[in-house]
């Protein structure tokens, strides 16, 4: 019997080791797994590498995790925001490493990890600072940069509905990084608003098949506005 | 000489977006283009965080925190909309499926190089978001920007001084003074505001221009 | 106003030029666009390169197209079947070229074309006949082969339901190559069982967004069994 | 010596598939494994043409031509099923998400090389399908085959004579004589059929074996 539903947030994040690379879903607050991030803070793993689109906003979610000092490195596309003061402070004082990746390369690198691709040539970033030192190649008259997959130990994502197999559907633009992150981590953990009986999700509309999901936990939380 | 105001600039771009086009509007000034799309044209807006068929900002109180645009502002969906994940969304851009992308810029070079992501200041925290993907992510990339900086320096330049977002990616530059078409044979200027001659404009921009 | 629905199969395939590379959906008969293939035969374009999983069965569909002698080359994963006599005959008499590609590399190469990827390293096929002469690389202890995208002029696919924007949903395992082929061709043509009003498809469940679809035509046809 | 029959061979593999496993069963003999999955285990079957949660063949008259497996035979879906397109399906395989893949073979080498797609005959039309993807497409690749060809030559060999499907990809080989575990330190043989000694088996297979 397959039952990936775990009863508590504590059980959901159990066993995440020090030194883990953790993918964290969300674009703005949409799809950001706040409850799982809080659970990870409580769980206490350190020396983490966090891969997410941003590097935290205000003092909650990712920013709260960064504030614990347990994050060694952030890989993201857009760390600097009007309310990214936690990250900004750590970065300026040299307490955190940063790898900035164009958003589409970030997404494709995560997808490549899940899809078993060893590396790929992307046109994005060619001829810019972010491609410095990287292998390039001209193919069919266009210039490309070679990018590598981002494999992770853990993914923390948020979806709308799950069944006990871990099949997921999402809500609107909260889908964003969830499906690809689920595929790229050894341990993929989804917080969802509700669990439905097996068979209730239409097989034509499942976005993340359960094979990509290790644990599911129900977390009732309001998504705070991003604006 | 009457410079175009922001709404007139946005309307000028909007006029050139044909019926049926799939379009991504960048953050900032380009977002304003959505308010000026001509009546009677059906234009499908893409937002890179996973939506085609984006509609306008909802009425106050109707906002959904899980339905936002790339600028993280609340939006709506129109009939015919579709949601997808980030890899699919950027595949759509990188694969050249969007007809037009409208972006802001610090500088555009006469070769169509774009600089719009980084001031290059040594103490700036680098943050690129989707800028480099947008720069190469459409059949045609339009830039919408003021022609001059606040202290009067031209933003259409021989070579970008700011770090590049993408090389040779801009098709056309819409400004408050004129529209510039970037071509392999040089820059064509058209739609000069009243009272501005091509000679004046060349002098202001410091690059060679031809009437287009 | 966007209206991609065309009234006839003839209009659906109009303008396909000689020499075109044509992606043809389907795995077995499921998802095979028989009506569009018949229309292409009637339309008369020649010197075609056909990209499909198989190389035709019995005397209908792709096999009928091959029998016209208008196909120069087939790129597929599995040409040889118990009823692939049309292809077999052409191949043995040297009248058709064949490029055999492992099925997952075929799918990923089509996806790469749609996604703007210049090339990618895949583990599939490494060390085999099908990788002979190809660039290889060891990445993180695993061996990979470099594969290139398959860009096409035309895609002929079959879906279940469309709206006038060309948004598509599919039926069961007839989905197969449809979504990636739609993304990889300049002119993507879908035959569907029904057209619904704009807004009738759930935005969460659209599989192929209309941006990838050029023309839609309604074709009522029974899918013949593959077995 | 009583060789296992096809059903006993399939049952032997099925016994080793744990509860909760995601599994792809190749065409031919491996398909038979589905009929022997032990009661009480929930095992999710993948078919590479875009379905997880594949169920058994439907009753006569209930077949759906658009719901088939990789062998193009009619199947059903079980509760919890999901459909996806070909690139996603093969990404799932190539990305190592399946726990087990069960394949037939012409030959397996003691290094775990697999040959199962091509006889190598000069007049054969090459056709690979998903064989090479399956060969590398699971955490563990099990081969299910007779130990000997019809004319008595071993199919577990020092080096494959047939063209390879994948290198060093096979974890375990189930046969009608014994089960072979491919390890970096050599091949372990276990589950020898009654009346067969390790020495007999070594003699028949022509490769060095250790009791496992």
pLDDT along chain B (212 residues), means of 10: 94 98 95 95 98 97 97 97 98 98 97 95 91 95 97 97 97 98 96 96 96 91
Contacts of C127 in chain D (CB under 8 A): 164, 166-167
Q: What count of CB pairs under 8 Å joins A to D?
A: 66
Burial of B108-140, coded b for 16+ CB within 10 Å and e otherwise, reads bbbebbbbbbbeeeeeebbbbbbbbbbbbbbeb
- Which residues have CB under 8 Å from B122's CB, separation 6+? none
Q: Is C165 on the interface with D (CB under 8 A)?
A: no
Locate the chain B residue with the closest alpha carbon to C202. B82
Q: Are C227 and D73 in contact (CB < 8 Å)?
A: yes
pLDDT tens track for D17-67: 999 999 999 999 999 999 999 999 999 999 999 999 999 999 999 999 999
Give me the domains of chain A, ranges plus CATH numbers.
9-117+150-218 (3.40.1080.10)
Contact exists between D and B (3 or more beta carbon pairs < 8 Å)? no
Q: Where are the alpha helices (DSSP H) in A147-201?
A: 178-184
Give C185-194 pLDDT, tens digit per residue: 999 999 999 9
D104 touches D143 (CB < 8 A)? yes
* pLDDT, position B122: 85
Query: Which chain C residues touch D165 with a CB distance below 8 Å?
Result: 128
Band (C156; pLDDT cuts 50, 70, 90)? very high
Range of the domain at D121: 6-207
Between CA C16 and CA C22 the distance in angstroms is 9
Q: Is A147 on the interface with C (CB under 8 A)?
A: no
D146 is catalytic: no
Q: Which of D51, D52, D48 is nearest to D21 (CA)?
A: D52
List of residues 6+ apart from D175 with CB closer than 8 A: D4, D9, D144, D145, D146, D147, D155, D156
H or E, element range at D157: strand D156-157
Point out which residues pair with C190 in neighbouring strands.
Answer: C157, C216
Domain containing residue D151: CATH number: 3.40.1080.10
The verdict on residue B104 lying in a domain is yes
Q: Which of residues 39-58 of A touch C (CB under 8 A)?
A: none
Kindly report the average pLDDT of chain A as a whole number: 97
Is the four-CA dihedral C23, C152, C20, C8 of positive or negative sign?
positive
Give the residue from D19, D39, D51, D53 with the most A CB atoms within 10 Å of its CB, the best one to mutate.
D53
**Structural domain contains residue D161:** yes
Number of domains in chain B: 1
- Residue D16 CA to residue C57 CA, distance in Å, equals 37
Is the residue at D212 inside a domain?
A: no
Highest mean pLDDT among B102-106, C79-83, D117-121: B102-106
Among C147, C152, C82, residue whose Cα is nearest residue C114: C152
Q: Is B1 part of a structural domain of the chain? A: no
- Chain D residues with beta carbon closer than 8 angstroms to that of A115: 91, 94-95
Q: Percent of chain D at pLDDT above 70?
A: 100
Nearest neighbour of B97 by CB, restricted to C198, C199, C212: C212
Report the percentage of chain A scoring pLDDT > 70.
100
Q: Which residue of A lies nearest to D19 if distances are taken between CA atoms?
A: A1
Round to whole Å and give the CA distance between A55 and C39: 53
Query: Could you give the C-alpha distances from D201 to D148, D178, D190, in angstroms and in order?
Result: 11, 8, 11
Q: How far, rounded to the nearest angstrom, does the alpha carbon of residue A96 sit from its chain's CA centroid? A: 18
pLDDT at A111 over 90: yes
- Subunits with 3+ Cβ pairs within 8 Å of C are A, B, D
Kindly report the nearest CA distance between residue C108 and chain B, in angstroms. 13
pLDDT band at A81 (very low <50, low <70, confident <90, very high): confident
Inter-chain contact B131–A102, Cβ cutoff 8 Å? yes
Answer whether residue B89 is part of any domain: yes
- Per-residue pLDDT at D212 exceeds 90: no
Q: Per-residue confidence at C147, pLDDT binned at 50, 70, 90?
A: very high
ipTM of the complex: 0.98
B40 within 8 A of B72, measured Cβ to Cβ: no
**Residue of D42, D48, D146, D208 with catalytic role:** D48
Q: Do B22 and C211 touch (CB under 8 A)?
A: yes
C198 in contact with chain B, both atoms CB, cutoff 8 A: yes
Q: Residue D1 falls within a domain, yes or no?
A: no
Residues of B with a Cβ under 8 Å from any C Cβ are 19-20, 22, 42, 44, 46, 51-53, 77, 79-84, 91-98, 136
- Is D155 a residue whose pLDDT tops 90? yes
Whole-prediction pTM value? 0.98
- Here the tokens at position B128 are 């690129």
What would the pLDDT profile of A39-60 be if each residue is shown by its tens digit?
A: 999 999 999 999 999 999 999 9
- Looking at the domain assignment, is residue B14 inside a domain? yes
Q: How many CB atoms lie within 10 A of CB B199?
A: 9
Q: What angle do CA B140, B24, C5 make, to 5 degrees?
A: 85
How close A203 comes to chain B (CA, Å)?
Answer: 17
- Chain C closest-CA separation from residue A192 CA (Å): 16
C-alpha torsion sign, points C91, C96, C102, C103? negative
Residue A227 has pLDDT above 90, yes or no: no
- d(CA D68, CA C71) in angstroms, rounded, equals 28
Length of chain A, in residues: 227
pLDDT of residue C180: 98
Q: How many CA atoms lie within 13 A of C114 on its CB side?
A: 30
CB–CB contact D80 A167 (8 Å): yes
Give the pLDDT band (50/70/90) at residue A218.
Answer: very high
CB contact under 8 A, C88 and D125: yes
What residues pair up with D186 in beta bridges, in sequence order? Answer: D183
- Which strand ranges, in their side-by-side order, compose the sheet holding D114-115? D114-115, D107-109, D156-157
In a domain, D133, yes or no: yes
């Amino acid at each position: 019997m397959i039952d990936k539903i775990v009863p508590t947030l504590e059980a959901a994040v159990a066993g995440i080791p020090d030194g883990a690379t953790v993918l964290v879903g969300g674009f703005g607050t949409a799809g950001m797994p706040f409850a799982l991030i809080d659970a990870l803070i409580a769980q206490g793993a350190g020396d983490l590498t966090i891969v997410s689109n941003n590097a935290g906003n205000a003092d909650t979610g990712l920013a709260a995790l960064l504030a614990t000092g347990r994050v060694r490195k952030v890989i993201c596309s857009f760390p600097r925001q009007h309310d990214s003061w936690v990250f900004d402070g750590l970065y300026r004082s040299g307490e955190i490493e940063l790898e900035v990746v164009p958003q589409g390369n970030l997404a494709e690198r995560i997808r490549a990890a899940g899809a078993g691709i060893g590396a790929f040539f992307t046109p994005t970033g060619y001829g810019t600072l972010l491609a410095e030192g990287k292998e390039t190649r001209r193919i069919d008259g266009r210039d490309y940069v070679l990018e590598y997959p981002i494999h992770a130990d853990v993914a923390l994502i948020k979806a709308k509905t799950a069944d006990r197999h871990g099949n997921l559907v999402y809500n609107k633009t909260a889908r964003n990084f969830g499906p690809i992150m689920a595929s790229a981590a050894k341990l993929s953990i989804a917080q969802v608003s509700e669990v439905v009986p097996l068979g209730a999700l239409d097989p034509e509309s499942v976005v993340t098949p359960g094979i990509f999901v290790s644990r599911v936990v129900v977390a009732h939380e309001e998504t705070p506005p991003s604006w | 000489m009457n410079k175009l105001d922001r709404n007139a600039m946005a309307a000028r771009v909007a006029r050139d977006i044909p019926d049926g086009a799939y379009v991504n509007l960048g953050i900032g000034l380009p977002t304003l283009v959505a308010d000026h799309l001509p009546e009677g044209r059906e234009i499908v807006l893409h937002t890179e965080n996973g939506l085609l068929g984006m509609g306008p900002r909802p009425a106050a109180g109707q906002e959904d925190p899980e339905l936002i645009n790339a600028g993280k502002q609340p939006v709506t969906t129109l009939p015919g909309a579709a949601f997808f994940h980030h890899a699919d969304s950027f595949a759509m851009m990188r694969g050249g499926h969007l007809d037009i992308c409208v972006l802001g810029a610090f500088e555009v070079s006469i070769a169509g190089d774009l600089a719009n992501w980084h001031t290059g200041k040594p103490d700036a925290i680098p943050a690129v978001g989707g800028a480099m993907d947008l720069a190469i992510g459409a059949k045609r990339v339009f830039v919408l920007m003021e022609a001059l900086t606040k202290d009067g320096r031209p933003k259409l330049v021989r070579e970008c001084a700011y770090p590049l977002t993408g090389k040779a990616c801009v098709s056309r530059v819409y400004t408050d003074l004129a529209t510039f078409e970037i071509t392999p044979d040089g820059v064509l200027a058209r739609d000069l505001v009243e009272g501005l001659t091509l000679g004046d404009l060349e002098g202001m921009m410091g690059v060679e221009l031809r009437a287009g």
